Amino acid sequence: MCNGITCGHQMKDEEKSKEELINELVVLRQRVAELEAAEVEHKRTEKAIHDAHEYMKSIVNTVREPLLVLDSELRVISANRSFYKTFNVSPEETEGKFIYDLGNRQWDIPELRKLLENILPKNTSFDNFEMEHDFVHIGRRVMLLNGRRMVGKPGKPGMILLAIEDVTEQKRAEEEIRHLNLVLRAIRNVNQLITRERCRSRLLQGACDNLIGTRGYSTAWIAIFDGSRRVITTAEAGLGNEFLSMSEQLRRGELHYCVRQALERSDVLVIQDPFPSCTHCPLVNTCRSKLVLSARLEHAGKVYGVISVCVPSQFMADKEELDLFKDVAGDLAFALHSIELEEEQSRIDEELRQSFEKLKRTLRDTVNALSSIVEMRDPYTAGHQRRVADLAKAIAEDITLTDEQIEAIHMAGLIHDIGKISVPADILSKPSRLNKPEMDLIKSHPQVGYDILKGIEFPWPIAEIVFQHHERMNGSGYPKGLRGEEILMEARVLGVADVVEAMASHRPYRPALAIDKALEEISKNKGILYDTEAVDACLNLFAKKGYRL
């Protein structure tokens, strides 16, 4: 039983405990609410993460390049559809396995292993790791690999994303372009050779050297045939002694498959591997497993021969390759055609030259005969025309006239007095001075000489030179009184030589004068009666070169 005081205290304690309990209950309810909210947020987060992973997975599966997701131990967690399709494998063969154990251990490369093992611990990445391998199911391919770190699920290690790109076709295209560029460079070099080379054998050998020199082709050979398909000449590069047997067989008329086929067709003959079809060809081992291109060398309907090359086996005989090879065959055929035309022209030119030389010999014989006739009628001037011709030729050579002018001067000199054939012999040999009628008759000899010679088709202006050899620079000469440049240079030279020889030689009406007197005459009248250049050359001959009549 309690008294009043004790019971009062007990009531207060009970009321206080109740209040505290209520407060605690409120706090507890708040905590429960927070936990419930946290649980909702956690579920929302988990869902977001799940959705994100599903979203990422869907993206990964739409990527065209193969992708692998690896764990920290480099086991395959997952792969996208492109991976399975590209490598023709199943998820069962892939997921959960170490990357190095996949396929025929194609990924077990020390350098790649090191790159992958450093990604997670060192937070690194790598790009464009290139590898070439004979893969199971898909054969030899070139792959480009990129590696990146991926954030894993909370509390779990990160992951590795390995992207794989098949660049085989791209590499093949790059190699093809590089090969075609090398072929283009070879063709350019061959065309440059064509523009400057006029020797058939050097052209063919140079073409073969250029075709393999740029590494566009591995071997090259050319054979040129006559109309009976007998080989005339051959050239090769990259074959060496192995071509000797081929060359001998061609010279015996033994044409192998590639040669026969190439000669019969207008397009390029393509042999993927010569072994099955050319088993007896001496070059079969050299060209085995290679692409062989052969084409005939044809221009303007004429087939000159065959060109054949070996292309590295990794390249295909596409249209560009064949067009380029056909171009080089056509260019070489055109060059052979041009050389043939030049040789034919040279042959014709040589025949013409020989005919011209024969004609000149005939003309010289005719001129010598005419000269002899004049000398027979005028024995006192025997040898005069030949001495004048020789001196005039020497003067012409000293002033560097053309060969044709020099030849013309010499020929004209031999018959420059042919017109005296119309002058009576007693006047030619008269021991005293001539009267005017007789002198007029003598002065007519250039015109008579012209009339005799004008009908003869000399290759030089012989008749005109003979007609003008007594003309003088100031117009005081005969028969037409020509002056200066109106007189042919050949006639001016002949006129100087005629005066010098005539004064230095015996005449019926006077004895020979000293050569000094003759040289004094032309020197004194240089530029007045006689051509300055011709006089200087004549004086130089006698004074410095020891010329004697």
- In this prediction, residues 192-220 reach a mean pLDDT of 90
The answer to whether the 174-345 and 378-544 domains have the same CATH topology is no
Q: Which of 207, 197, 190, 188 lies closest to 342 in space, CA to CA?
A: 197
Which amino acid belongs to residue 182? L
- Residue in the structure block whose two tokens are 């990604």: 119
Least confident of 2-6, 40-44, 332-336: 2-6
10 Å Cβ neighbour count for 392? 32
On the question of pLDDT at 47 being above 60, the answer is yes
Alpha-carbon gap, residue 226 to 223, rounded angstroms: 10
Q: Give the pLDDT band of residue 378 (cuts 50, 70, 90).
A: low
Question: Residue 305: what pLDDT?
Answer: 96
Q: Side by side, which strands form the sheet with 139-150?
A: 76-79, 67-70, 159-166, 139-150, 126-135
- Residue in the structure block whose two tokens are 């022209």: 345
Percent of the chain predicted with pLDDT > 70: 89
Is-above-0.75 flag for pTM?
A: no
For helices 403-414 and 489-504, angle between their N-to-C axes, nearest 10 degrees = 40
Alpha-carbon gap, residue 292 to 286, rounded angstroms: 11
DSSP bridge partners of 149: 160
DSSP code per residue over 362-389: HHHHHHHHHHHHHHHH-GGGTTHHHHHH
DSSP code per residue over 423-484: S-HHHHT-SS---HHHHHHHHTHHHHHHHHHTTS--SS-HHHHHHHTT--TTS--SSS---G
Domain ranges of the chain: 60-166, 174-345, 378-544
- In this prediction, residues 449-457 reach a mean pLDDT of 91
Q: What is the CATH number of domain 378-544?
A: 1.10.3210.10
10 Å Cβ neighbour count for 472? 21
Least confident of 77-81, 241-245, 481-485: 241-245
- In this prediction, residues 8-37 reach a mean pLDDT of 67
**CATH class as words, domain 60-166:** alpha beta
Question: Residue 380: what pLDDT?
Answer: 58
10 Å Cβ neighbour count for 339? 17
On the question of pLDDT at 153 being above 90, the answer is no
On the question of pLDDT at 12 being above 70, the answer is no
On the question of pLDDT at 1 being above 50, the answer is no
Cβ neighbors of 465 (< 8 A, separation 6 or more) are: 408, 409, 412, 416, 488, 490, 491, 494
Question: Residue 459: what pLDDT?
Answer: 86
Q: Give the pLDDT band of residue 5 (cuts 50, 70, 90).
A: very low
Cα distance from N-terminal residue to C-terminal residue, the chain:
187
Alpha-carbon gap, residue 319 to 270, rounded angstroms: 11
Alpha-carbon gap, residue 281 to 447, rounded angstroms: 80
- Give the tens place of pLDDT for each residue, 493-536: 999 999 999 998 877 767 888 899 999 999 999 999 999 999 99
- In this prediction, residues 449-472 reach a mean pLDDT of 93
What's the mean per-residue pLDDT of the chain? 86
Q: Any idea which architecture 174-345 has in CATH?
A: 2-Layer Sandwich (3.30)
Question: Residue 52: what pLDDT?
Answer: 57
DSSP bridge partners of 142: 132
The CB-side HSE value for 423 (13 A sphere, CA atoms) comes to 28
On the question of pLDDT at 279 being above 70, the answer is no
- In this prediction, residues 49-77 reach a mean pLDDT of 77
Least confident of 160-169, 189-198, 504-513: 504-513
Q: Give the pLDDT band of residue 158 (cuts 50, 70, 90).
A: confident
Q: Give the pLDDT band of residue 214 (cuts 50, 70, 90).
A: confident
Alpha-carbon gap, residue 397 to 416, rounded angstroms: 19
